[in-house]
């Protein structure tokens, strides 16, 4: 019998790729979604879909019944509370393996930023739960590049001088799927880097040159200007500003060697990603 894996956050950018890869690799995939119709339209009849959310324990209990593993890919807002609920039910259900999406700079020294604090707390809950786990600490994700490029009108805060090893969601998904089959992947924190390194402005300019010829080069908007804009554009903009500032001050860190050796080295570079988008 194939393993049953519950994906929490399956309709998100990474969760969708992970869910489909698990299915392709022969797992029985369950999806927990707040919107049954949306999940069904994305995944069809071959996926087992549960409607509910991570703050409804009765839904978690049903979705985990006889499941073997869980993968969690959720936004950082309220993630620690969500993970705590998931782990409580996972212990009752005797889940054999927990997977989790985190970031490559998540550590105590950086936990002053709310984004990092959320993942840091969630990681600690997972590692202290007593359940086997695999934590995937990502760098920049290629799938977000169109958002940065903004249809040829990039708006980048700060200089963003650091190079990032951009990872494609499908490469991550293949690594996650394999982790549920490899015993040595349990109780590991994996750093996940893609094969190409570019700064955000460099990657944006290459994307726009390919898909929006004639677009202006990405130019940094100084933080003093974005600070003024934040007074008018609200909390969401100010939070985005704080993330850009964090990225500018904190380059990627970690060593991807263990992940590459155990789970297979990512192969999709920037030009490969562009080709995928064009097909």
The torsion angle over the Cα atoms of residues 110, 113, 115 and 119, rounded to 10 degrees, is: 40
What are the residues whose beta carbons fall under 8 Å from the beta carbon of 149, sequence distance 6 or more? 204, 207, 208, 211, 212, 215
User: How many CB atoms within 10 Å of residue 78?
Assistant: 12
Residue 209 within a domain = no
Q: How many domains does the chain have?
A: 1
Please write the tens of the pLDDT for every residue from 229-252: 888 888 988 998 999 999 999 999
Residue 244 within a domain = no
What is residue 177's predicted lDDT score, i.e. its pLDDT? 98
Give me the helix-helix angle, 200-211 and 270-278, nearest 10°.
30
DSSP for residue 174: H
Residue 18 structural domain: 4-140+168-193+252-266
What is residue 13's predicted lDDT score, i.e. its pLDDT? 94
> Measured between alpha carbons, how far is 62 from 65 in angstroms, rounded to an integer?
5
What is residue 1's predicted lDDT score, i.e. its pLDDT? 54
What are the residues whose beta carbons fall under 8 Å from the beta carbon of 211, sequence distance 6 or more? 149, 152, 274, 277
pLDDT beneath 70: ranges in the chain: 1
Residue 29 within a domain = yes
Residue 64 within a domain = yes
Tell me, what CATH number does 125's domain have? 3.40.50.720
Residue 240 within a domain = no
What is residue 78's predicted lDDT score, i.e. its pLDDT? 84
């Amino acid at each position: 019998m194939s393993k049953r894996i519950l994906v929490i956050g399956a309709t998100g950018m990474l969760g969708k790729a992970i869910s489909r890869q698990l299915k392709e690799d022969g797992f029985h995939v369950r999806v927990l979604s707040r919107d049954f119709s949306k999940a069904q339209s994305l995944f069809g009849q071959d996926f087992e879909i549960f409607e509910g959310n991570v703050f409804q324990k009765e839904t978690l209990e049903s979705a985990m019944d006889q499941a073997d593993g869980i993968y969690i890919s959720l936004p950082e807002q309220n993630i620690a509370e969500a993970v705590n609920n998931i782990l409580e039910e996972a212990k009752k259900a005797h889940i054999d393996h927990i997977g989790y999406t985190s970031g490559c700079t998540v550590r105590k020294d950086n936990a002053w930023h709310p984004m990092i604090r959320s993942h840091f707390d969630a990681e600690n809950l997972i590692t202290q739960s007593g359940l086997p786990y695999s934590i995937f600490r990502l760098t920049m994700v290629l799938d977000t590049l169109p958002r940065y490029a903004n249809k040829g009108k990039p708006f980048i805060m700060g200089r963003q001088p650091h190079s990032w090893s951009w990872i494609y969601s499908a490469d991550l998904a293949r690594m996650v799927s394999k982790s549920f089959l490899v015993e040595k992947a349990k109780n590991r924190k994996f750093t996940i880097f893609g094969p190409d390194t570019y700064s955000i402005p460099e990657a944006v300019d290459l994307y726009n040159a390919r898909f929006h010829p004639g677009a202006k080069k990405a130019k940094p908007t100084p933080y003093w200007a974005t600070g003024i804009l934040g007074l008018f554009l609200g909390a969401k903009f100010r939070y985005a500003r704080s993330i850009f500032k964090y990225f500018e001050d904190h380059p990627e860190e970690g060593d991807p060697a263990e992940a590459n050796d155990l789970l297979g080295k990512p192969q999709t570079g920037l030009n490969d990603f562009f080709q995928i988008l064009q097909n």
